[in-house]
Structure 1
Amino acid sequence: MGRCCSPAPAQHGEGVCRHRPSVSRDDDHRACQDGAEGDRQRRPRSSTSVDQRPWEFVMTAYHGMPDVYVVGACVHARPTSAHRVAEHIRRMIFDKNLRAGQRVPQDEIAADLRVSRVPVREAVIALDHEGWVTSEPYRGAFVNGLDENSTRDHYDALGMLYGFTARCATERATDQDVAALESVHRRLQESTHPDEFHERSQEFLCRLQAMARSRRITAMGVMLTTHLVPGNFFAEVPGVMRIQKRSLRAVMQAIRNGQGAAAEQALSAMLHTQADNVVELLRARGLLVTGS
């Protein structure tokens, strides 16, 4: 069955994506249908690259990849108070300062971070939606344990999204787009420090999403790009930087050769493999509970 990027201009509170209507809805629809049928010959690349278009491609900085970027001039957004509180609570759970079943001390957190109760409540609502906590009326929010099935499903879902993004990007990229992605990829492969590698990976994935030229993909990325591991994913989880370097080499080779299905498979497989490392880490830290 063919898959399609709906061109509906969905937006998200923190993310903004304003596209020039230079790619018609029919073109957007047709490109994804063609891509879903396999590696048929790509439509001719346009002569206008991502960087030449006056698009602002901005993605949420919601604790994970990618942070806020404007393609061609990457701009980081300052996290909101609610984002900072949510990351603080995730870190408390990850470091076992808050354990499964414990009540989240919202007043103490507000005092420690010197914020009002409003961003704390907003953070708790977001964490409830993510499954980190369960809010109970008149009782407060209580920590949930992380289960293996949900953890693996999280990364497999990200893999499907980013894999599909890679396919669409391959089919819609200009030669200039690919050359610019190659430049980012070279710097990524040369990175040895987790902080630098984190930045280069964000830039690579943001540019890839811009090359896909789809508002629906952007909106879905905003909704799904949440890491279960707080902080720098590549510093916290052993082995994932090596996996990402190897996998993105395969992705880049597939994009270079115009092979959308191969790019999709390589990026999807990367997230699936990284899930093993995350599960291993969570198990070692005693953070996994029996799945429901």
Structure 2
Amino acid sequence: MSAEVAEHIRTMIFDGRLKAEQRVPQDAIAEELGVSRLPVREALITLEADGLVSSETHRGTFVVPIRSEDITDHYRLYGMAQGLAAAGAVRRITEPVLDRLDELHAQMSSNDDPDLLHDLNWEFHTLINKTGASRRTLSVLRQLSHNLPREVYSLAAAASPEANRGHSRIIAALRAGNEAEADLASREHVQQESHQVVAALKRDGILAD
């Protein structure tokens, strides 16, 4: 239950319902979600570990201002982990997996439904991650994937020309058996996504800088 509450509060922070330095209304959130205050308190412990809120004794828990570098660093770390997974996938990937990546790439290139694009993009990268990542790298990827809400990841257009070129480059590196290129292509692809996300969050007034 606390994980769902944490995701709800995380979404409230990134869609602007909770502003920087605003006190988190624990009672109101508990009432809205139909839960006791316990899962809300547990959720805030998780969010404090993620750097999104800060607790002050006898005052409450407050939203920490989010800056561009926070998002950029998140995506840089994400890209490093995905690069490791892609390099590992070069050594383990099979033809059926490559064919499925081609199918997903083609579907993303010819679709404009945001929800479907998010799901296709998620499957594309998850397939590579599960094929090539070590257990430790998968653990890091799972943790990073939960640090931002789905709506933020969706801000990076999976059907943009840059995204399509990135996916094509990753597939080409996997087919060529080039670990270094698979790593680099994945990291640069994620970096390109970070630029879109930062720009969108700035436009929406979510970032503090």
Question: What TM-score do you get using the length of structure 2 for normalisation?
Answer: 0.88
Q: Deviations over 1:80-139 (max 9, x none)?
A: x32332232223223332211111011110001111222212211111111111122333
Aligned to 2:79: 159
Instruction: Tell me: CA distance 1:221–1:209, structure 2 relative to 1, closer, same or farther (3 Å).
Output: same
User: Once superposed, which parts of structure 1, at least 4 consecutive aligned residues long, lie more than 4 Å away?
Assistant: none
Aligned to 2:39: 119
Alpha-carbon distance in structure 2 between the residues aligned to 1:245 and 1:216: 29
Is 2:118–2:158's contact at 8 Å kept on the other side of the alignment? Answer: no
**2:189 is the alignment partner of 1:278:** no
Instruction: Tell me: CA distance 1:254–1:289, structure 2 relative to 1, closer, same or farther (3 Å).
Output: same
Instruction: Tell me: CA distance 1:177–1:96, structure 2 relative to 1, closer, same or farther (3 Å).
Output: closer
State, as a whole percentage, how many aligned pairs show the same letter. 35
Match of 1:260 among 167, 174, 179: 179
Higher helix share: 2
Alpha-carbon distance in structure 1 between the residues aligned to 2:152 and 2:69: 23
Across the aligned residues of Structure 1 and Structure 2, the Cα RMSD in angstroms comes to 2.1
Which structure 2 residue ranges, 5 or more long, are not aligned? none
Alpha-carbon distance in structure 2 between the residues aligned to 1:187 and 1:241: 9
**2:170 is the alignment partner of 1:251:** yes
Please state whether the residue corresponding to 1:231 is helix, strand or coil. helix
Work out the number of aligned pairs and report it. Answer: 208
Is 2:85–2:133's contact at 8 Å kept on the other side of the alignment? Answer: no
5 Å matches for 1:123-272? 123-212=43-132, 214-226=134-146, 228=148, 230-231=150-151, 233-234=153-154, 237=155, 239=157, 241-242=159-160, 243-272=162-191
Amino acid across the alignment from 2:57: P
Which structure 1 residue ranges, 5 or more long, are not aligned? 1-80
Instruction: Tell me: CA distance 1:197–1:252, structure 2 relative to 1, closer, same or farther (3 Å).
Output: same
Alpha-carbon distance in structure 2 between the residues aligned to 1:239 and 1:102: 30
Is 2:91–2:177's contact at 8 Å kept on the other side of the alignment? Answer: yes
Is 2:86–2:129's contact at 8 Å kept on the other side of the alignment? Answer: yes
